[in-house]
Chain A
Amino acid sequence: MNPKSTPVMLTVNGLNKKFGQVHAVNNLNFEVRKGEVFGFLGPNGAGKSTTMRIITCFIPATSGNVLVDGIDLAVNNLEVRRRIGYLPESTPLYSDMTVREYLTFVGKVRSLKGAKLKSRLDEMFTVCGLTKMASRQIGKLSKGYRQRVGLAQAMIHNPDLLILDEPMSGLDPNQIIEIRHLIKKIGEEKTVIYCSHILSEVSATCDRILIIREGRIVASGTPEELTKGHESGSRYTLRVKGEKSSIESNLSAIEGISNIDINDSLKNGWHSVQIHTTAKDDIGESLFNCIVKSGWSLSELRRDQTSLEEVFTQLTRSNQ
């Protein structure tokens, strides 16, 4: 998919939201293109849910505008709401209704009727794996099934834009994998905005990621771009057998090394060495040559990738 040629699904322009003194969303600008699975990432309280609530027309923005499929939210918000399927953070459902009653109700509110409504219901039951649970009361379902009902509710009208706020919270690892597959499947045709504070979830499903902190954008791009852009040197881990002092002096002679950290708590004269480099280039070869020349035994030589996780922590740590 060529990201530049696909049309825009969502445009957010200079969005601000203040709650009294708190500036929850601070001048957000971003675009989501059709067919993208877009990760919206940030620590708790970064303004993710607030942004989603504005886009879904639940709360008004203090300033700025939002266009969904070219329609301005301030001008025709019912039309915007028709295009969006939304699963809020806490998966709020009417617990005294059965799954079928609930989804029928949502379908009717969304102006589906008759055969169309029935076929959409059947499709949702199959897609979300709810067929067996159709006549169960929602309040008696497990968290995983509630989540599926929430997803079914968000997709029943076949929306162009699906907004999922922390869809994995409270799920066990198997359920997470299932829901992740489901989201990927949906993402093949639909635009999905996926909010989370857990990076591994987002990097596993999303085409593009936006990281926010304290209501501001701190980074955006594909997962690869994000890791590349924020690499500052690389890190090597060695496990060698030799004199500690000679290890330190021989290694520090290699060009491009900024920091050596030797852990000598290992048995039989083995040392675990962490090396940080200033350069982004590979220094593996010079390390290996140095080890051979010094005559140490070697049991491990590894270059650690800067993970998205590190980028995320770097970017979202508070400044204090």
Chain B
Amino acid sequence: MIQSVAAVFKKEFTSYFISPIAYVFIIVFLVGTNFMFFQPFFLINQADMRNYFNLLPWVFLFFVPAITMRSWAEEKKSKTMELLLTWPISDTQVVLGKFFASFAFLASAALLSLTIPITLFIIGNPDPGPIIGGYAGALLMGAAYLSIGLWVSSHTENQIVAFILAWVAVFILMIIGHPMVTMKLPSMLVPVFSYIGLFTHFESIERGVIDSRDVIYYLSMTGVFLFLNTQSLGSRKYE
């Protein structure tokens, strides 16, 4: 049981590093995020990570669909899915294996970006709370994005389509709770929308406040989309 999940995890995780795309994305991610941090650092002599975490949801909007786009689309296109799903491994195990692999990949990118807080601790004396909270929140939010991306990828055999649709899906869930949208809604729907929105929950986390409601939100978001993923595999509507 665990061994099968671990086997899928290992296979998926190493396959990220076989293709050059992974390296390109990690580099773009690191250069981008470091730029976001070091620009105010040099320009206005400000060294905090507020800006950095502020922009992270938007960076993830591009980075995460790129991680998940191939995971099912490729299996469908090369028909390897026909073998994978006839091995004695349940759909849930495969989905979990793939999810944890993509999460580990995202986490390794986050790990490499730890150079920024390390620099901060060397040159100054920052408050560790918001930084730890920010990273924890980023990983939680990332998990939710990843599960959405994986679910989308299970509906197409085209990686580019998977990327774009995942981008759109995440984007809609991000802005749905934004004041820009909720302003126009009847007032009774506002709390619902802002609860569903991915963005609202990250705002408090990036301030360094980890609220159990936000944690539960991200975990249940992840759970729901992973469940939908097993459902879309179960239907197998192709010849």
B86 and A92 contacting across the interface, CB-CB below 8 Å: no
Give the docked Cα–Cα distance between A224 and B90 (Å): 43
Interface range on chain A (Cβ under 8 Å from partner): 20 to 34
* Interfacial chain A residues near B11, Cβ < 8 Å: 94, 97, 101, 105
**A249 contacts chain B at the CB level, 8 A cutoff:** no
Residues of A within 8 Å of B212, CB to CB, are none
Stretch at the interface among A26-34, A53-61, A280-288, A309-317: A53-61
Asked if A307 is at the interface of the complex by the 8 Å CB criterion, the answer is: no
Interface with B: A2-10, A82-90, A239-247, A258-266, which one?
A82-90
With contacts A19-B239, A58-B86, A59-B236 known, is A88 near B3, CB below 8 A? Answer: no
Nearest CB of chain B from residue A181's CB, rounded to whole Å: 24
> Closest chain B residue to A84 by CB distance?
B86
Residues of A19-51 at the interface with B, using a CB-CB cut-off of 8 Å, are 19, 24, 50
How close is A215's CB to chain B, nearest CB, in angstroms? 13
A96 within 8 A of B: yes
Is residue A110 within 8 Å, beta carbon to beta carbon, of the partner chain?
yes
Q: Counting chain B CB atoms within 10 Å of each CB, which of A57, A59, A90, A109 scores highest?
A: A109
Q: For chain B, residues 1 to 38, give those with C-beta under 8 angstroms from any C-beta of chain A.
A: 3-4, 6-8, 10-11, 15, 18-19
| Cβ–Cβ contact A88 & B79, under 8 A | yes
Q: Which 10 A-B pairs have the closest CB atoms?
A: A108-B7, A92-B79, A81-B88, A56-B86, A92-B80, A82-B88, A96-B18, A88-B82, A105-B11, A109-B7
Binding site for B on A (CB under 8 A): 19, 24, 50, 53, 56-60, 78-79, 81-82, 84, 86, 88, 90, 92-97, 101, 105-106, 108-111, 113, 153
- Chain B residues in the interface with A (C-beta under 8 A): 3-4, 6-8, 10-11, 15, 18-19, 78-83, 85-90, 236, 239
Known: A109-B88, A111-B3. 8 other contacts (CB 8 A): A78-B90, A88-B79, A92-B81, A94-B15, A94-B78, A94-B80, A106-B87, A109-B89
